[in-house]
Structure 1
C-alpha cells in the first residue's frame, strides 16, 4: 500500500518525506486556506521536493471551469494530480484531462457505481471517503471492498483506490485488508501507525537489561 499524507503543511510534509515512507500528498482548498498562502504557491513548493503524486483540487463546479483550472494546475509540475468532484461535469473534465496525460483524482466518492464511472472516465485515483460514511453509520470498508472487486473484474480498469477521510490507524489497516492501493492520512495518523504499548514496554526492558549488564 502507498501512503499519501493529507495536508498542506509544508513543514509536516518535509518531515515525513525525509523518512522515505511517503509516496504522495493530497491537498484541498480548506487545507491550503489554513496556510494563508496562494493555492498555486503551496502546490509548487510541495512538488519541488515530493516526487510522487500531489493532488490539487479545482474550485470550479462546471465543466469549463474545472477544465480550465485543471490545465493550469497541471502546468505547475508533472506530478500534479488534478482533483475533481464526482459529478457529471467532474467526470467530463476527468475524461479530457486524463486523455491529455494529466493525472486525475476523482474525489467525494460514496458508492461503487460512482467509482465505476470514474474509472471509465480515466481517473488515475478514486477517493472513497470512508470516514464520512462511518459517520452516517454506514460501512466505509464495504465500499472499498466493493470497488476492489469491481475493478479486479476488468483488466482495462486501471484506476487506483485511494482511501480518504481516514480517521485513525484502524482505518489504515482495514483499508489495506480491503485492497485499497493508497491510504491518504493526516500527519498525526501516519505517525501513530508506529506506536504500540508493547513496543515501548519491550524497549524499556531491553534498555534496563543493558544498563544492568554494564554494571
Structure 2
C-alpha cells in the first residue's frame, strides 16, 4: 500500500522520503489557503522536496472551468495529479482529462457508487474520506472492502486512496481492505511510529539486563561511540 502525505509539513515529508515510504503528497484548497505563500510557490516547493507525485484540487464546479484549471496544473509538472470532486460535472471533467492523458484523483467521496463510477471512467485514484464517513455514522471499513471488490471484479485500474485518515486504526482499515494507497496528515503519520507503554517496558527490561552484566555492558562490539 502506498503512503501519501496530506500536509505541507516539510520535516514530515523529508522523514518519509528518507525512509523510502513516500509515494506522493496531496493538497486541497483548505491546505493551500492556510499557507503563507502563493499557491504556485507552495506547489513548487512540494515538487522540489520529494520525487513523487503531487495531487492538486481544482476549485471550480463547472466542467469547462475545471478543465482549464486542470490543464494549467498539468502543464506545470508531469508529476501533478489533478483532484476533482466526484460529483456532478466532475465526472465529465475526469473522463475528459483521462482521455487527454492527464491523471486524475476523484475526491470528496462518501459512497461506493462514486468509486464505481470513477472505475468505469478510468480515473487513476479515488479518495474516500474515511474519518468523515465514520463521523457521518457510516461504516468506512465496509465501504473500502465493497469498493475494492467492485474494482477487482471488473479489472478496473482505479486505485482507492484512503483519505482523511485520522488514526492508526483507520490506517490499518486501509491495509486490511487491500486498497492501493492511503494519504495521511502529519499527526497520523507520526502515530505510526509512536511507542506504547508495553513496548517501553519491554525495552527497559532489555536495557536493565544488559547493564546488569559487566561483560555485556563493557562489550566493545556494542559501544555507542
The two structures share one fold, judged by TM-score above 0.5: yes
| Equivalent position of 2:192 in the other structure | 193
| Equivalent position of 1:27 in the other structure | 27
| Equivalent position of 1:87 in the other structure | 87
Partner of 2:126: helix, strand, or coil?
Answer: strand
Distance 1:43 1:29 in 2: 12
Distance 1:185 1:73 in 2: 23
Distance 1:14 1:75 in 2: 25
Distance 1:2 1:189 in 2: 15
Displacement after TM superposition at 1:153 (Å): 0.6
Distance 2:42 2:22 in 1: 18
1:46-195 mapped onto 2 (5 Å cutoff): 46-155=46-155, 157-195=156-194
Q: Which runs of 4+ in 1 moved over 3 A?
A: none
| Equivalent position of 2:223 in the other structure | none
| Equivalent position of 2:210 in the other structure | 210
Deviation digits for residues 34-78 of structure 1 (CA, Å, limit 9, x no counterpart):
222122221121112322221111111110111010111112211
How many corresponding residue pairs?
Answer: 214
Distance 1:38 1:12 in 2: 21
- Unaligned stretches of 5+ residues in structure 1: none
Distance 1:74 1:41 in 2: 15
Aligned residues of 1:4 and 1:184 also touching (Cα < 8 A): yes
Distance 1:23 1:148 in 2: 20
Q: Comparing 11-20 with 31-40, which one deviates more in the overlay?
A: 11-20
Q: Comparing 46-55 with 167-176, which one deviates more in the overlay?
A: 46-55
The answer to whether residue 17 in structure 2 is matched with residue 17 in structure 1 is yes
